[in-house]
Structure 1
Amino acid sequence: MMLERPPMEDARQALVDKIMPLESEALPTMEAVKRILAADIIAPRDLPPYRQAAMDGFAVSLTETKDKRFTIKKILEADEAPDFSLEPGEAAGVLTGGYVPQGTDVVIRQEDVRIIGDSITVDNFPVIDNIRNQGEDIKSGSVIARSGTIITPGLIAILTAFGLREIRVIRRPKVAILSLGKEVIPYDQDLTPGQMWDSNGPHLSSLVTIQGGLPSVVVSQSSPEKILHSQLQQADMVVTIGGTADGSNDQGRDLLDSTCAEPVFLGYQVKPGSHAWCRGQ
């Protein structure tokens, strides 16, 4: 049922109710910022994928008497997975984000140990263990992000931390903008007396771009019906500018009627701009 001069909020809701979801497309993850997820993203593995040191220092296995001296078993490289376990009283050098050996009770930061030959002496034991456990951030099988989520730089970091190279996003809507009026010409053409440059079209085009759409602007001085029907075949939405009043030079309503699309609302309660119409399919 068409609404006649509804409040602006009702007109907006009537328009929103007509919107259908767009199709999805696959996109490289690094090109997806500010796009909208088309499907839930499920964690394919734990993050972290293994027990990690939270800082540079020494992984140690405590003794029952909490001795402060530990024998260094090995100094691990950043990408080295240990093939040994620590026994009580032993230590291994570790780096931030690197593996900690089995048997590790706590990681002592580098600044709190003294290296003496092949052993270390601990000056201060930490209050926490300084270990990031496997799956501490995200468990395998959990939802990383829901469909409909706007992809942020932070989410890009999470997705790439899982090695996700491609994701499905909603394709960008195509929005055609048609500026009406015999006196209106594109802004990049030379004026003649009685003409004016189109600024509303570029304005709306910029707004569409900011919101993630793909705009196209056409200024129609002749054959607007032909142009409109062409735009309707190519775009998801067509926005016309001008020609909505009741003057002899106003042709917006006749143009909309020619589309045979279902009327959504006729005008709405706002000034300026109350002469606005909407049709949808």
Structure 2
Amino acid sequence: MRQNLSAEEALEAILERTRPIAELEHLPLASAFGRTLGVDLAAKVSHPQTDDTAADGYACLQADTLSAQPDRPVRLRVVGVSPAGRPFAGRVGPGEAVQVFTGAPVPPGADALVRVEDTRREGDFVWLLKPATPADIRRQGVDLMEGRTYLFKGDRLTPGRVALAAAMGYPTLPVVRRPRVGILVTGDEVVEPGQPLPHGGVYNANGYALTGLVAEAGGEPIPLGKANDDLEDLRTRLTQTGPLDLLLTSGGVSMGEYDIVRRMVEQEGEVHFWRVRIQPGGPLLFATWQGLPLLGLPGNPVSAMVTFLLFGRPLLFRLLGRNDPPYQRLEALAETPFEAHPTRRAYRRAVLRWEGGQYRALSTGSQSSVVLHSMALGNALVVVEAGVPKSAGEVVTAIPFPEG
């Protein structure tokens, strides 16, 4: 069993043992938002399918209009109307124009457009106050060319990408099945919110934090309740989970007599590593139990959330085959000092904001891992290397919390 890994070594060990899910689901467009595309998609049609108009006005021959000026307008005969969806059936000849509306196909014979605000209509004729131009004609395929690939396997389906898929002609989309992630909280001291809190007890914050984090990262959270500090109770709960792609546990991974998760996988599974040189979240565990990947997070809610962001979220992205990074890293100006740990990389909770053309990072205050409200107040982690504190005014690396 490997111990005391760096953050990079731990993440590498997790990702090298994680394979993307191959199973796809086909969803209607309205249900595909936020999912991960499972195959490359090529456009079934060109867009526009033909040259069309980018403004309301009159389509005509540019050569007829070159002398048009406000004090010397050019008169053309209007031979038809072409709204979007009902193209003009004839052909535009010399001295003629067709009234067009935005999105309408350019009538045959016309090669230019004059906007309606640059004209004056008189019955069957229109006076042009300036020359027509081809600049307001959108050429066929300027947006999409039939057969060209525009969406790729691993893309997260944002509203813009779903709209693009619709424009490409797809009524349904093949998406990766969401990873089924079991979430098990451990500890005799943990009780559900709303129940009487016994002496020494804590309310179950981890279960709800991890449920939200898993869902935001694209997984399907499956709450498994709480296991007491008893190996048999733990085994019983785990045998009733149904099929899972990942098991997340919180608590039970440290060095104490009651750290049952670590004891169980040491006896019945394979521990790939235990403990990482970071603060908070040092007693992180990654193992395989009965063929199931198990990520054992610390029991402290701050530690559990930080380690999920750093390790659990990348694991889920790998399962989904997503091609975007699981989190950002950006530079910010420290507005407060950020203390270093002497031997571990520290991830300090911070408030990150954009001001004066740059990001600025302000500490949330106490960085004790018991201060859970810092995860609600803060919106980023500031990375502080071991033994290298950051002073106010220095540039720091910040990892924004995912927006979900």
TM-score, scaled relative to structure 1: 0.91
Alpha-carbon displacement from aligned partner over 1:212-252 (angstroms, at most 9, x marks no partner): 21112321125112212433x42211111112222222212
Q: Structure 1's 259 and 100: CA in aligned 2 closer, same or farther, altered over 3 A?
A: farther
Contact 2:112/2:133 (<8 A) preserved: no
SS of alignment partner, residue 276 of structure 2: coil
Aligned partner of 1:30 in structure 2 is 30
Note closer, same or farther for the CA distance 1:258–1:166 as it changes in structure 2 (3 Å cut). farther
Letter in 2 for 1:243: G
User: Residues 182 and 101 (structure 1 numbering): CA distance in 2 closer, same or farther, change over 3 Å?
Assistant: same
Match of 2:210 among 183, 204, 213: 204
Q: Which residue of 1 aligns with 2:188?
A: 182
Secondary structure at 2:135's aligned position in 1? coil
- Kept in 1, the 8 Å contact 2:62–2:131? The answer is no
Tell me the residue number matched to 1:230.
Answer: 240
**Aligned mate of 1:219, from 222, 226, 235:** 226
Query: 1:16 is matched with which residue?
Result: 15
Deviation at 1:257, TM superposition (A): 2.9
Residue aligned with 1:5, SS: strand
Question: How far apart are 1:25 and its partner, in Å?
Answer: 0.7
Shift of 1:45: 0.9
Is 2:283 the partner of 1:275?
yes
- Greater relative CO, 1 or 2 (CA 8 Å, sep 6+): 1
Q: Which runs of 5+ in 2 are unaligned?
A: 68-73, 292-404
Instruction: Mark the CA change 1:188 to 1:168 in structure 2 (over 3 Å): closer, same or farther.
Output: farther
1:70-103 per-residue CA deviation (whole Å, 9 max, x = no partner) reads 1111122332122211112210000000121111
Query: CA 1:159–1:65 in 2, change beyond 3 Å: closer, same or farther?
Result: closer
Does the 8 Å contact 1:62/1:89 carry over to 2? no
Larger radius of gyration: 1
**Contact persistence 1:244–1:250 (CA under 8 A):** yes
Cα deviation code 1:183-210 (max 9, x no counterpart): 2223343333443221122111111122
List per-residue Cα deviations over 1:101-122 (Å, max 9, x = no partner). Answer: 1111111100111122322121
Structure 2 residue 3 is matched with structure 1 residue 4: yes
Check conservation: 1:78, 1:98, Cα contact below 8 A: yes
Query: What is the aligned partner in structure 2 of residue 157 from structure 1?
Result: 163
Distance in 2, matches of 1:75 and 1:82, equals 6
Give the aligned residue type for 1:20: R
Cα distance in 2 for partners of 1:11, 1:176 equals 21
Q: Which amino acid aligns with 1:86?
A: V
Aligned partners of 1:163 and 1:99: how far apart in 2? Answer: 19
Q: 2:383 maps to what in 1?
A: none
Alignment TM-score, normalising by the size of structure 2: 0.65
TM-aligned CA distance change 1:10 to 1:17, over 3 Å: same
CA contact (8 A) 1:186 1:219 kept: no
Number of the residue aligned with 2:272:
264
Task: Determine the C-alpha separation between the residues in 2 that align with 1:271 and 1:171.
Answer: 34
Rounded Cα–Cα distance in structure 2 between residues aligned with 1:158 and 1:25 = 19
RMSD: 2.0
Question: What secondary structure, in the 3-state scheme, does the structure 2 residue paired with 1:189 have?
Answer: coil
Contact 1:3 1:11 in 2 (8 A): no
Q: Residue 230 and residue 65 in structure 1: after superposition, are their counterparts in 2 closer, same or farther (change >3 A)?
A: closer
SS at match of 2:236: helix
SS of the aligned residue for 1:234 comes to coil
Cα distance in 2 for partners of 1:17, 1:126 equals 61
- Paired with 1:62 and 1:196, the residues of 2 have a C-alpha distance of 78
Aligned residues: 278
Classify 1:193/1:64 alpha carbon distance in 2 versus 1 (closer, same or farther; 3 Å). closer
Give the secondary-structure state (helix, strand or coil) at the position aligned to 1:10: helix
> Is the counterpart of residue 58 in structure 1 residue 54 in structure 2?
no
Is residue 130 of structure 1 aligned with residue 136 of structure 2? yes
Structure 1: state its 5+ residue gaps: none
What one-letter code is carried by the residue in structure 2 that aligns with 1:29?
L
Which residue, out of 81, 85, 98, partners 1:92?
A: 98
Q: What is the aligned-residue identity percentage? A: 31
Distance in 1 separating the partners of 2:149 and 2:35: 18
Query: Does the CA-based 8 Å contact 2:144-2:168 persist in structure 1?
Result: no
What letter corresponds to residue 227 of structure 1 in structure 2? R
Worse-matched range after superposition: 88-97 or 192-201: 192-201
Distance 1:161 1:65 in 2: 35
